[in-house]
């Protein structure tokens, strides 16, 4: 213990404490911001993004096994009958007596398009995802439907009202069905509602399984999508992500860039810290050569000498981490107070990771350090 106390009386040790404290404070503070903005991004993702899983095999049990999934909704898939003109494709052309009387070019945003209600990507370009009417608390007769207006298409609400009462048609398992548009409803998810009765009948006889899935974060959604695509050939995974959504005055695209920048900076500083830490360890070992020689003469064995050496470095790291933690807590509380943010004041996971990493590096270097025999 006397040897350890002597180590902390040295000026060089105090300099090491200062350097470690500053670097660790910067790392912890930057990671606090990165975690804060990551949580905002995940919240935006939970509220505004979703995945549609389409397959010939029922994968409900497999989906249920993922803990990152917040909710799973069963759906059915309709293919639009484009012979009806109340809703047209984006590339529509209407010809009368050999003359183009209406088209995408001159129609512009004056028509509702089938693409407004589709998920997009792959199978999503062909199907509308259909839910029972009780999902949105809308009363529908068996020959009525309600169509969605999501944030991408809400600007067409006046156009949509102009086709309420019009007939539209769909294909389901090669059969044709005709419905009347009763109303449009505002939602985050493009698609359509049918009566609970119709949904139940068609759901019992479906040949394609469709599930609307919501995740707790963008990262988990991406990982699950990759696993599903790799393990199942008959599955179609459609990830719908909105990047224009704003929260805390920032778009999600800007948040992604900001998080990437913060993580890059923190990793760079961690790398610098790691290099400095290794250099410091080597300097401490070099400075301790005389003490090691003395300890040998006093009868300490190699294990005891390495124990005291590692104790010095572990305590040095621990004190640095405690100081930096206290400083970062003060900084985060101050920032939260003045800027009305919600930075995590005390990140036990980050601190544990840092300390365990430092501990492992310290013990490893001390373990491989060779203790030479003393000279009399």
- Backbone φ, ψ for residue 362 (5° rounding): -60, -50
> What pLDDT is recorded for position 229?
84
Q: Contact at 8 Å (CB) between 139 and 182?
A: no
Residues 6+ apart with CB under 8 A from 241: 45, 49, 218
Nearest of 107, 93, 109, 125 to residue 160 by alpha carbon: 109
- Backbone φ, ψ for residue 341 (5° rounding): -100, 180
> What pLDDT is recorded for position 244?
47
Query: Left, alpha or beta for 228 (phi > 0: left; psi -120 to 50: alpha)?
Result: alpha
What are the residue ranges of helices labelled H in the chain?
A: 2-9, 11-48, 60-64, 104-107, 157-161, 196-204, 218-231, 252-287, 289-297, 302-339, 348-368
What angle, rounded to 10 degrees, do the helices at 302-339 and 252-287 form? 150
Q: Contact at 8 Å (CB) between 361 and 279?
A: no
* Neighbouring-strand partners of residue 51: 213, 239
- Local structure of 184: helix, strand or coil: strand
CA separation for the pair 128, 133 (Å, rounded): 15
Nearest of 89, 161, 154 to residue 118 by alpha carbon: 89
149 alpha carbon, distance to own chain's centre: 26
> What pLDDT is recorded for position 375?
44
CA separation for the pair 332, 57 (Å, rounded): 50
CA separation for the pair 155, 132 (Å, rounded): 25
What pLDDT digit, counting tens, does each position of 101-116 carry?
Answer: 565 666 556 788 888 8
CA separation for the pair 343, 29 (Å, rounded): 9
Structure tokens at 94: 């209407």
Give every residue of the chain whose pLDDT is below 70, as ranges: 1-7, 92-109, 120-125, 241-250, 288-300, 369-376
Q: Contact at 8 Å (CB) between 175 and 7?
A: no
């Amino acid at each position: 213990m006397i040897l350890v106390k002597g180590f902390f009386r040295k000026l060089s040790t105090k300099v090491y404490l200062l350097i470690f404290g500053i670097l660790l404070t910067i790392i912890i503070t930057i990671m606090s911001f990165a975690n804060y903005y990551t949580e905002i991004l995940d919240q935006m993702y939970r509220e505004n993004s979703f995945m549609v899983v389409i397959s010939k095999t029922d994968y409900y049990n497999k989906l249920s096994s993922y803990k990152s999934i917040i909710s799973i909704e069963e759906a059915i898939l309709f293919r639009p009958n484009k012979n009806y003109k109340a809703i047209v494709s984006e590339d529509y052309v209407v010809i009368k007596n050999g003359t183009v009387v209406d088209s995408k070019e001159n129609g512009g945003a004056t028509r509702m398009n089938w693409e407004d209600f589709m998920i997009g990507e792959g199978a999503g370009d062909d199907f509308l995802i259909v839910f029972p009417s009780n999902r949105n608390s809308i009363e529908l007769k068996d020959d009525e439907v309600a169509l969605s207006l999501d944030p991408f298409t809400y600007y067409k609400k006046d156009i949509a009202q102009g086709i309420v009462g019009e007939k539209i048609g769909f294909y389901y398992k090669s059969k044709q069905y005709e419905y009347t548009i009763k109303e449009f409803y505002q939602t985050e998810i493009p698609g359509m509602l049918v009566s609970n009765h119709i949904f139940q009948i068609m759901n019992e006889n479906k040949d394609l399984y469709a599930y609307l899935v919501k995740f707790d974060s963008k990262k988990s959604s991406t990982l699950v999508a990759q696993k599903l695509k790799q393990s199942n050939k008959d599955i179609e995974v459609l990830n719908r992500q909105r990047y224009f959504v704003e929260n805390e005055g920032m778009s999600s695209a800007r948040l992604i860039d900001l998080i990437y920048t913060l993580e890059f900076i923190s990793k760079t500083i961690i790398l610098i810290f790691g290099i400095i830490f290794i250099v410091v360890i080597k300097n401490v070992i070099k400075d301790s050569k005389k003490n090691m020689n003395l300890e040998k003469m006093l009868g300490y064995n190699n294990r005891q000498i390495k124990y005291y050496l590692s104790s010095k470095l572990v305590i040095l790291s621990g004190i640095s981490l405690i100081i930096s933690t206290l400083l970062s807590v003060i900084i985060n509380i101050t920032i939260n107070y003045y800027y009305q943010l919600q930075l995590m004041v005390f990140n036990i996971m980050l601190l544990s990771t840092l300390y365990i990493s430092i501990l492992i590096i310290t013990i490893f270097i001390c373990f491989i350090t060779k203790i030479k025999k003393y000279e009399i």
